[in-house]
């Protein structure tokens, strides 16, 4: 899952302690998902403590929080806004995602002997293309299943790439919320062909995952984080006042007490919207308190930044590495095998980060002028022009912003 580091305008307001806290949350969330898969693969226990669901819920709360701030920041830049925002999101998601998908395909061809996915196409060319274009477990397939329509070619995450289902949901939430914010609220115009195509693919995912889907309510959980992100953005000038700490303490206390009560009634269910809202109050209440902390030990700051830096790559690749470890490592000591499997997952993820993920900003800079040319409402008339002879105004704007 992707929750990019808070580099925009809020970072100077949040401070090092709050930024380190957000990094810790990202690292913890990815390792909670690993813990859930360790229980399943090594012990055959299907996440009895909802560790994986908790990790995904934290990711979506953080994603809504940070991406809303990103949209607000983009709205204050020179036009156009949506193409640049979309280029950034595509670069952030796909820069490590495509190499991870290729590694997973290779692992499934060469190393993995077991079938680990659900019903439907999760290996072969169709599954690869479907995963490449973020169509795995798309809401259309799920709606057809709900209606009793049998689709034998339903596209699933590529075998060992089980976590990919959430990445597709997150990507299409980015697209649909970007369209809603920039094109509907801000009245920005883009080429109608792409507007219709993007809306037809993304909005069904947004709506379906507000009521159903694998996480039952991931859209609503994302929107809870989005509301928190909007409030923090609007309060950024007063965010370090003494009153903010008191508000944060009140949110934490209320959230903890109410969450305990909710757990007593239905158990711990992170995908439950009420539970997620209360978790969000605790998370962002603590964040509000930490905005008043003016310094943090440099070692802690660097450690949190390091662990968070490759958390998305870790989320993408860890399940495949664990499955390879389960099938190939035999030391006669289960805990040693688990330790080696988890360590290999972290090493592989860090290598993926170093080779690909950390370069996403360069990819975004390359994509922005191209997205601006394609998505511009005048893109048709611009096709075929030599940019070197007649430079695009939007390309010039993007170059200045980079």
- Per-residue pLDDT at 383: 42
Q: Which of 56, 17, 63, 7 is nearest to 33 (CA)?
A: 56
User: In a 3-state reduction of DSSP, which class is residue 144?
Assistant: helix
The pLDDT value given to residue 235: 81
Half-sphere exposure of 157 (CA within 13 A, CB side): 21
Three-state SS across 243-259?
A: HHHHHHHHHHHHHHHHH
Residue in this structure with the two tokens 């699933």, named with its chain if needed: 156
374: closest CA among 203, 200, 193?
193
Predicted pLDDT at 11 = 44
Q: CA 56, CA 271: separation in Å to the nearest integer? A: 9
Predicted pLDDT of residue 118 = 60
Residue count of the chain, please give it: 402
Closest C-alpha among 352, 309, 340 to residue 38: 340
Q: Is 155 helix (H, G, I), strand (E, B) or coil?
A: strand
Please, which residues have CB within 8 angstroms of residue 142's CB and are 6 or more apart in sequence?
Answer: 208, 212, 213
Chain centre distance of CA 18: 20
Cβ atoms < 10 Å from Cβ of 78: 13
Whether 365 and 83 have beta carbons less than 8 Å apart is answered as no
pLDDT score for 119: 61
CA distance 51 to 31: 9
Q: Indicate the Cα dihedral angle 50, 64, 322, 137, nearest 10°.
A: 90
Residue 182 burial by Cβ neighbours in a 10 Å radius (0-12, 13-18, 19+): buried
Q: Parse the chain into domains and list their residue ranges.
A: 11-358
Report how far apart the first and last C-alpha atoms of the chain are (Å, whole number): 25
Q: What is the pLDDT along the chain (402 residues), one digit of tens a residue?
A: 665 444 444 444 678 899 999 999 999 999 999 999 999 999 999 988 899 999 999 999 999 999 999 999 998 888 899 999 999 999 999 999 999 999 999 999 999 887 666 666 688 899 999 999 999 999 998 888 888 887 777 888 998 898 999 999 999 999 999 999 999 999 999 999 999 999 999 999 999 999 988 888 999 999 999 999 999 988 876 666 667 888 899 999 999 999 999 999 999 999 999 999 999 999 999 999 998 887 889 999 999 999 999 999 999 999 999 999 999 999 999 999 999 999 999 999 999 999 999 999 999 999 999 999 999 886 544 444 444 333 333 333 333 333
Taking the C-alpha atoms of 325, 330, 333 and 337 in order, what is their torsion angle to the nearest 10 degrees?
-10
Rounded Cα distance between 5 and 86, Å, is 17
Burial class (CB in 10 A: 0-12, 13-18, 19+), 260: exposed
| DSSP 8-state code for residue 357 | G
Q: What is the pLDDT of residue 94?
A: 98
The per-residue pLDDT for 393 is 34
Q: What integer pLDDT is reported at residue 3 of this predicted model?
A: 54
Cβ neighbours for 240, distance < 8 A, ≥ 6 positions apart:
13, 15, 291, 292
pTM of the model: 0.89
Beta bridge partners of 155: 121
């Amino acid at each position: 899952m992707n929750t990019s580091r808070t580099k925009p305008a809020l970072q100077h307001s949040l401070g090092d302690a709050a930024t380190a806290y957000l990094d810790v949350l990202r690292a913890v969330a990815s390792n909670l998902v690993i813990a859930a898969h360790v229980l399943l693969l090594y012990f055959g226990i299907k996440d009895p403590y909802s560790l994986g669901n908790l990790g995904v819920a934290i990711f979506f709360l953080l994603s809504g929080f940070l991406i809303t701030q990103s949209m607000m920041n983009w709205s204050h830049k020179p036009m156009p806004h949506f193409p640049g925002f979309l280029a950034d999101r595509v670069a952030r998601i796909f820069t490590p995602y495509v190499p991870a998908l290729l590694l997973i395909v290779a692992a499934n061809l060469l190393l993995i002997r077991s079938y680990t996915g659900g019903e439907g196409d999760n290996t072969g060319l169709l599954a690869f293309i479907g995963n490449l274009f973020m169509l795995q477990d798309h809401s259309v397939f799920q709606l057809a299943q709900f209606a009793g329509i049998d689709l034998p070619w339903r596209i699933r995450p590529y075998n060992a790439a089980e976590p990919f289902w959430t990445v597709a949901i997150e990507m299409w939430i980015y697209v649909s919320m970007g369209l809603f914010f920039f094109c509907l609220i801000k009245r920005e115009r883009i080429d109608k062909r792409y507007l219709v195509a993007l809306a037809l693919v993304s909005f069904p995912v947004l709506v379906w995952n507000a009521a159903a889907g694998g996480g039952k309510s991931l859209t609503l959980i994302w929107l809870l984080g989005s509301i928190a992100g909007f409030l923090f953005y609007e309060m950024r000038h007063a965010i370090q006042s003494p009153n903010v700490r008191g508000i944060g303490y009140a949110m934490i206390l209320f959230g903890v007490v109410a969450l305990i009560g909710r757990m007593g009634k239905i158990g711990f269910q992170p995908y439950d919207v009420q539970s997620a809202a209360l978790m969000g109050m605790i998370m962002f209440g603590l964040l509000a308190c930490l905005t008043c902390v003016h310094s943090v030990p440099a070692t802690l700051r660097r450690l949190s930044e390091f662990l968070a830096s490759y958390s998305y790559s870790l989320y993408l690749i860890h399940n495949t590495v664990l499955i390879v470890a389960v099938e190939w490592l035999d030391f006669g000591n289960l805990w040693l095998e688990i330790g080696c499997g988890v360590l290999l997952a972290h090493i592989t993820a860090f290598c993926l980060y170093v080779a690909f993920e950390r370069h996403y900003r360069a990819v975004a800079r390359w994509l922005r002028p191209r997205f601006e040319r394609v998505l511009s409402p005048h893109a048709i008339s611009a096709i075929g022009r030599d940019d070197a002879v007649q430079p695009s105004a939007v390309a010039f704007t993007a170059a200045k912003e980079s």
